[in-house]
Amino acid sequence: METWLEPVFTDLLENKTFSDCLIVVEPETFDCHKVILASASEFFERMFLGDFKESKCGQFIVNDVKPKTFKYFLEYIYTYNIKNLKKHNSTVLVDLLVVGTKWLVASLQSDCVKLLTERAKAMTIGDLLELFQGAYNVDNKSLIDVAKKNLKERYKNRMNCYEALMLTSDVFEQYLIVTDRYMEEVERFKMIQDYVNLNGLHVGDAEADKNEASGVLEIEDVNKVGEGIRKELCDVKPVGDTATKAVELHVGDQQEMKLKAIHSKYVRTLLGYIKYEKMTKAQFYEVVGKSSLLDFKEKFEKFNLTAWQYSDDECDSECGDLNSHK
């Protein structure tokens, strides 16, 4: 935007001059101009042109965004001045990147990516993990790589941190993959255990998980009886039982069973990334042996993979030599 036009458009936003629509971002409202929003974002263009009652009354509700984030979004699209972004911290920039991606504002996306990339080298591990999460949320490969690089190079000894436990399940799995060869295996196992405990994930033994998963499938088949029919109770044949035996399960119980099966499958996926052969038997005994994440049979099998001792040279090679990965 031309420099001389910037104060004009800033005044339009601040004084609500000629505003012709009201954007509701609960609990706040914003007087805006359709032409500016529609010019900046295909999302808003479609919204304004849609055949909805909102289009006729001029009031539009926008969900999944914080009022403060929307305020900063407006400041940007009314001026397109990157200086308006530079004053914000990385948390706000990640939020703006998300809405810029969702609302198809290419310039906002590129400006946020540029600033976040520049700042990454000075970010705390908490900010980097927030960037890692946000980059995955919008599937921005360049930012994902920036976050990975800085985590590995600057925080290799602090990767098992509380902030990592706040990541969503899909992103935590990706983070666990990143820690391979940068954290000791026993520390990676501890991190999984902490994540499971903090997020209240259900973990059953391997055999129970198989039976539970089969039970869930049978419940889902029963629920398909009659399109549009909602049953409060379902008769479900237990796996391996006779047809005469049945159990009454509430719909809530079915959902709980399904959720537990999903939790257990996810936890076992995480555990699949652990390389037990890189643990000493002492480490295994002190941590894995006392954990509830594996059943007795699994512990016995994994224990046989471990070494009696782990030399300092091997430890340095696996966990400390970053030069070989740059």
If one compares 315 and 284, the residue with the highest pLDDT of the two is 284
C-alpha–C-alpha distance, residues 200 and 263, integer Å: 9
pLDDT of residue 185: 97
Q: Using one digit for the tens of pLDDT, what is the confidence trace for 69-118?
A: 999 999 999 999 898 899 999 999 999 999 999 999 999 999 999 999 99
Tens digits of per-residue pLDDT, 229-270?
333 333 334 444 544 444 555 566 778 888 999 999 999 999
CB 104 within 8 A of CB 41: yes
pLDDT over 70 percentage in the chain? 75
- State residue 37's pLDDT score: 96
Q: Percentage of the chain surpassing pLDDT 90?
A: 65
pLDDT the model gives residue 221:
42
Domains of the chain with bracketed CATH: 1-81 (3.30.710.10), 201-274 (no CATH)
How far apart are alpha carbons 280 and 225 in whole angstroms? 53
The mean pLDDT value of the chain amounts to 83
Cis geometry, peptide bond prior to residue 238 (ω within 30 degrees of 0): no
Q: In Å, what is the CA distance from 152 to each residue of 68, 129, 159, 171, 228? A: 33, 12, 8, 16, 52
- The radius of gyration of the chain's CA atoms, rounded to the nearest angstrom, is 26
Taking only the tens place, the pLDDT of each residue in 193-215 is 999 999 999 887 665 555 555 55
pLDDT at 16: 78
Cα-based distances in Å from 81 to 10, 75, 108: 11, 9, 10
For the chain, the 3-state helix, strand and coil shares in percent, each to the nearest 5, are 60, 10, 30
3-class DSSP assignment, residue 24 = strand
* Structure-model confidence comparison of residues 52 and 240, the more confident one: 52
- Furthest C-alpha separation in the chain: 83
Provide φ and ψ at 16, rounded to 5°.
60, 25
Rounded Cα gap, residues 65 and 96, in angstroms: 10
Poorest-pLDDT segment among 158-162, 173-177, 270-274, 313-317: 313-317
Q: Is the pLDDT of residue 54 over 70?
A: no
DSSP, collapsed to helix, strand or coil, labels residue 31 as strand
Q: What confidence score (pLDDT) does residue 245 get? A: 46
What the block records as the tokens of 134 is 């946000």
Q: How confident is the model at residue 132 (pLDDT cuts 50, 70, 90)?
A: very high
Mean pLDDT is lowest, of 112-121, 145-154, 173-182, 220-229, for: 220-229
> Cα separation of 253 and 233, whole Å?
10
122 band by pLDDT with thresholds 50, 70 and 90: very high
The pLDDT, as a whole number, for residue 285 is: 96
Q: Mutual orientation of helices 169-178 and 251-271 as an angle, nearest 10°?
A: 10
- pLDDT score at 131: 98
